[in-house]
Structure 1
């Protein structure tokens, strides 16, 4: 009998936790951009217009923090220049180097227009911002989907799931951020119900997308579903993670459904918002970090051990701290926000008039 031993080298993870932060913040930013562009067309005093301050603040924070994570993921920020000096149009990363600055510029222009009270400018920017946000959604999903060596990633459903979970995170972040707005800019109960309904619609769409991936994968025997089945059967760690993800999804959906009666409860929107954002972040962690623990060839499972330095825990804490600092700075600046009837402050004005 001849015994043949196969050895599989253990490669370091190519996508570091910085990528998790970037894809999470990019998803939040695109959702904030789409909501901002839609709300600016709503009539003054309506629930969508009252949602505009939270949407704009979410857009501003995520659009600034996302490229910081991307540059850190490149290890050497100067490498960003290579995308322009050696442009390769067949590479999604190279194309993204053109799309991302345009999106950031349009996002900041939208936020500045809101601060200045230029509704006309915002409505002119809105179509461009929508197209730019959709281009970022396609680019971030496609640059992962094209990796054929990872069958779990190589499916057209991946960009759809990234988009829907990212926009769900936008809803969650807005639930958190609205608590830090000045009282006159905070959304009322009807506006919070609109935000909850948006999250509920996105959750249902995500559930349908997942069921479609499962059903079509069974019919067409897609490599992506086969890779997921292998993870389920061969690795107990992944089996536990998949079960936990399913339970978390049901819990998020139940929380959104119960929110119709509990949105006014103290702390409920904070817990709901953090839960939505954490679920989207956890999905990206499993997608990027856990999938890389499965060898492309051979058997076995490489459990990722997160370093404590800049490429691990310290970097994640730093990005979270940057977001908190930006929210704190914006909250302080909004205390000096001028009263304007077309920017979502007219409801309080009318209430004060009626009280007199």
Structure 2
């Protein structure tokens, strides 16, 4: 009997948890930008118009913290300058170095216009902000989908799933903000967010169904790769069924607004579940997929470090979000006290 030993080299993960944080926050900021534009062009007495203050808060928090995660993911913040000194328009990452600052500037401009009470400037900025948000959705999705060496990434459904899960997280985060922003106490605002969340969940279900059906019929490389992982590796089976269970719970809650509309505990559960689903999808997409060898068999075992490139970095980014949110809520409270 002959024994053949196979040796697999250890590779460091190219995408660190910083990337998960960046794609999570910047995706939510695009969702907040779209909802903010909706509120700006709606009547002030409508649900979307009443929700504008809490959407502005969400937009401000996410658009400030997302670039911090991106700079951390570059390991050396000075590398950001290289995108301008050596601009390569055929690279989506290089294009992002132009599109992201424009999006951040327009978002901060809309927030400032709202703070000053200038509806005219808000409407003026809302249109280019929507276009800019769409460009961020395209650039972040394409940055992943163009990687041909990763079969699970290299398919047109990845950008769509990134967008829909990000917007679902934006709705979930907005629901959580209704507990602190006075405008969110209006039941009509929460009901409006619930309808948006239901739409996003149904859209995700439709996209997943189309991907599975088309993949099975046409035997696409991404579907075959996913099927192989599901068949051969228990961790992927567990992750899939946990995702299905979480998605079913979230969808059931959207369908029954009476479960959460008047209950703070259930509202928190729904908001956290929506955000966790989006964040978990990005963790599986970036960190889990990197565990699949580009060539060869088996899985690369990734253990999350405890330092800045791992657990502390994740906690730090969410801590930054809490700090910015606290400052924004304090400023809103101070403004209302002065006006009253």
Give the TM-score normalised by structure 2. Answer: 0.97
Residues 113-166 of structure 1, C-alpha deviations (whole Å, 9 max, x = no match):
000001000101111000000000000000011111110010000000000000
Structure 2 unaligned residues grouped into runs of 5+ = none
- Residues 39-78 of structure 1 aligned to structure 2 (within 5 Å): 39-78=39-78
Residue in 2 that maps onto 1:31: 31
Residue in 2 that maps onto 1:7: 7
Residues 88-122 of structure 1, C-alpha deviations (whole Å, 9 max, x = no match):
11110000000000000000000000000010001
d(CA) in 2 for partners of 1:151, 1:262 = 39
Residue in 2 that maps onto 1:233: 231
- Indicate conservation of the 8 Å contact 1:51/1:187, yes or no: no
d(CA) in 2 for partners of 1:177, 1:338 = 17
Give 2:269's match in structure 1, choosing from 257, 271, 274: 271
Residues 259-288 of structure 1, C-alpha deviations (whole Å, 9 max, x = no match):
245311232211211111011001100111
Structure 1 unaligned residues grouped into runs of 5+ = 340-344, 350-356
d(CA) in 2 for partners of 1:129, 1:66 = 17
Residue in 1 that maps onto 2:215: 217
**Structure 1 residues 261 and 315 mapped into 2: Cα distance closer, same or farther (>3 Å)?**
closer
d(CA) in 1 for partners of 2:255, 2:13 = 39
- Indicate conservation of the 8 Å contact 1:60/1:107, yes or no: yes
Higher relative contact order (CA 8 A, sep 6+): 1
Are 1:111 and 2:111 matched, yes or no? yes
Give the TM-score normalised by structure 1. Answer: 0.92
Question: What count of residue pairs does the alignment treat as equivalent?
Answer: 340
Residue in 1 that maps onto 2:167: 167
- Indicate conservation of the 8 Å contact 1:115/1:337, yes or no: no
- Residues 183-262 of structure 1 aligned to structure 2 (within 5 Å): 183=182, 185-262=183-260
d(CA) in 1 for partners of 2:336, 2:12 = 52
d(CA) in 2 for partners of 1:338, 1:121 = 21
How far is 1:299 from its partner? 1.1
Q: SS where residue 179 of structure 2 aligns?
A: helix
d(CA) in 2 for partners of 1:25, 1:213 = 25
Residues 162-197 of structure 1, C-alpha deviations (whole Å, 9 max, x = no match):
00000000001101112121x3x3341111101100
Are 1:333 and 2:313 matched, yes or no? no
d(CA) in 2 for partners of 1:224, 1:147 = 12
